[in-house]
Amino acid sequence: MVDFSARVRGSRGIGMTSQRTRDRLIERLRSKGITDDRVLSAMRSLPRHLFVDEALATRAYEDTALPIGRGQTISQPYVVALMTQTLIAEPMPKRVLEIGTGSGYQAAVLGMLVEKVYSIERIRELQRLARRRLLKLGLNNVHLKYVDGHVGWAEQAPFDAIILTAAANAVPDALFEQLADGGRLIAPVGSSMAQQLNIWRREGDQLVCQSIEAVTFVPLLGGTE
Ligand code: SAH
């Protein structure tokens, strides 16, 4: 597993982001049912405090979503772990598409685990900050694109896995079209009040859906900002 401490040395805040604080979060994830050691060790070594505003860094290792500006949030660590664990269960995907880069944290976790990550964001300012963080951490297998995620990333398709980190009433057709045979797509589906985390698996022309659990995400919006 990559050791990020050398890459971010000299950057802010050591105290509240101590290894003990991070380990406590990992124990909590384990107690909530995250069993994949690859996911747990990626999240143990990735500095989540670098993905939020400095004023919120002390809260970065709480198991909670936090605001990242523009009305958006960095997802709750448990939900990141759950989605990642579900997505990388055998067979391990090589190429993963994410809709909703946000802070870049979910993309970074995936970038530590799979060969290539493609992540799309519709708010340019958030994308700019995410790009800076990913560069600083040396995660150069994560590729970003500024576009409305409804269209996916056709030039790079098909993907072995697709993850939506914003909720829609229905998953856009273009995304299912960009999913490889045998691939998995995970997404929160429903209204702003009540969403269900669903996972689909493509088997030829068929899409087999399974519901995982109730979640709360910001909405998948149209257009770019
Ligand atoms: N994965 C992010 C979570 C960010 S919240 C993280 O780890 O921090 C969801 C993100 O989805 C927001 O940044 C929001 O701007 C973005 N989003 C919403 N609708 C979108 C769309 N149609 N295309 C691309 N991104 C979208």
What domains sit in the chain, N to C, each tagged with a CATH number? 5-215 (3.40.50.150)
Which residues are designated catalytic? 75
Q: Which residue has the tokens 């990735």?
A: 46
Cβ(120) – ligand 1 distance below 6 Å? yes
Type of residue found at 9:
R
Q: Whole-angstrom Cα distance, residue 114 to residue 147?
A: 23
Q: Tell me the CA–centroid distance for residue 81 and ligand 1, in Å.
A: 17
pLDDT 10s digits, 24-40: 999 999 999 999 999 99
Tokens linked to 18: 């101590």
From the list 188, 192, 153, 193, the residue with the least C-alpha distance to 171 is 188
Tokens linked to 25: 């979060």
- Nearest atom, ligand 1, residue 51 CA: 8
Q: What predicted TM-score, i.e. pTM, was given to this entire model?
A: 0.95
State the pLDDT at residue 193.
Answer: 80
pLDDT 10s digits, 64-74: 999 999 999 99
Cβ(150) – ligand 1 distance below 6 Å? yes
Average pLDDT over residues 149-173: 98
Handedness of CA 155, 71, 110, 139 (dihedral sign): positive
Cβ(99) – ligand 1 distance below 6 Å? yes
The burial of 91, by beta-carbon neighbours within 10 Å (0-12 exposed, 13-18 middle, 19 or more buried), is given as: exposed
- The angle formed by the CA atoms of residues 111, 109 and 41, to the nearest 5 degrees, is 115
